[in-house]
Amino acid sequence: MKHRITMNPMGLVKLRFCLGIWTILGCLSLTRGAETDGVALAIIYDTSGSMNELVPDAAGGRTPKYVIANRALLAVASHIESFLTNNSSSSPRRIEAGLFVFKGNGAREAVKFGPFDAEALKSFARDFSDPRGATPLGNALNTAGGRVLGSSLSRKHVLIITDGMNTLGPSPADVLPKLKQRAEAGQSGISVHFIAFDVDAKVFASVKKMGATVVSASNEKELNSQLEFILQKKILLEDEEPPKK
């Protein structure tokens, strides 16, 4: 025998009211999640063959670019680690990060995007020793940018360390406007920072016009200096932190 469930008009009104309340609460929860204070950072690390070329190092000699970039990546990991631990505020700082390297005509996660893992980043920097292949900067930016846009943290950044122009797939200038559109559709924003390592920064003039940060570095000292500048002034915004008491 089939049973039919009936409900009087007052019951329907109560049901609709309850459903409406749950919908509002759900929307508020999503809004709060999207506005969680913190930094979502994707680092694109150039692993193309040209990173084998020699440039001046800090000791005055000449060293392969990837070796210098590895050392710089170690410094980045330590800098972020220090930022997280040296916090005078009662609220913990939140950072999600991932490391993306070239693979074929795109990119792969060498360090999975998620809560900042200093040791994973340092492990890659200590071990990487085989630059090869092309430079699919646009596709890498699309992949890394997508991960960042999927984060609930409020400040979204992509940091790119590269020694050359795009050689495979769409250019960063083709990809960046679409990422910005996706960010705007989600009522968010995304900032992209290029460090042109041993390459003329004019190569990235088109993305600079779109609001990307573009700086150049021709040697180890300049690379470290530019990374520190971008981390402090653009990404972590350390100058905006309240002074320690």
Nearest by Cα to 220 from 74, 53, 58 = 58
11 phi, psi to nearest 5 deg: -65, -40
| Per-residue pLDDT tens digits for 101-113 | 999 999 999 999 9
* CATH code, residues 39-240: 3.40.50.410
Within 10 Å of residue 59's Cβ, how many Cβ atoms? 8
| Per-residue pLDDT tens digits for 3-30 | 554 555 555 444 454 445 444 444 444 4
**pLDDT reported for residue 87:** 82
